[in-house]
Amino acid sequence: MLSDQGERISGGDTTFARRGQRTPFLIRPRLTTIGVGSYRFQVEMALPAQPGSKGKKPTIIRKDKTFDVDQSRVTLGFASPQSLDVLKYIASQSEITEIGRLEGEEARKSYWEAFWRRRDPSPDTPENEVRDEFYQRVQYANQHFSTGTQGWKTDMGRIYITYGRPDEVVRNPFNFDRPPEEIWYYYREHRTFIFVDRDGFGRFELATSRGDTTEP
């Protein structure tokens, strides 16, 4: 299995006995230690030459399939460096500094658990509503704002994850003298965000932010 940068994440070899023209088989990769991101699962099959075909090399068949891992409740238990990066959208400045100093899986896992424990509105229950809502927003951002990069990394994704669903959205796709724009209004926070699509490919960038608080 390869990451989106082509780095080999995991792999292995196995052998199947061929039975007739078609031999069904099942591969169960262990993917419990991968974080949020895009991956490519690649299978390479080497079919031995038929008996009597002396000197012929095995036939090689390659198949691959890309897939994405979203930060949802399925992956909440794994505190990868990328998972911790998402937390910076809601972390305090001191917490952001502390996240940058973490090294090793155990340190990340310990910090991850403490981070959400501090924000748990009902610590006596197994659920953490604040955490679950946060990662539902992350998943939504990845599904709706991905344009060549993961949705949570975009300007729209960052604002959505930080503030949630806008109270009102105004879209102006056909402007004669300026790029297409989308305006998000958050009335309770007294915030307005204006995004523009400068190159026409749907990559909306934050152009203007107005409100009572500092920009995230």
Bridge partners (DSSP) listed for residue 146? none
User: What is the model's pTM?
Assistant: 0.63
- For residue 157, which of 136, 128, 179 has the smallest C-alpha distance? 136
CA–CA dist 66, 73 (Å, integer) = 21
Nearest in space to 185 (alpha carbons), one of 193, 175, 197, 173: 193
Measured distance CA(137)–CA(179) in Å, rounded: 27
Q: How far, in Å, CA of 72 to CA of 138, rounded?
A: 7
Spatial CA neighbour of 192 closest among 155, 161, 157, 167: 167
Output the six-digit token pair for 14.
């196995």
- The domain limits of the chain are 2-69, 72-142
C-alpha angle 85/165/187, rounded to 5°?
A: 115
What are the distances in angstroms from CA 163 to CA 132, 143, 157, 166?
14, 17, 10, 8
Q: For the chain, 216 residues long, give each residue's pLDDT as a single digit of tens.
A: 666 656 676 777 777 676 767 777 777 766 555 555 667 777 877 766 666 666 567 777 778 877 766 555 445 555 566 778 888 899 999 999 998 888 888 888 888 889 999 999 999 988 899 998 998 898 899 889 988 788 899 999 999 999 999 999 999 888 777 888 999 999 999 999 999 998 878 889 999 887 654 444
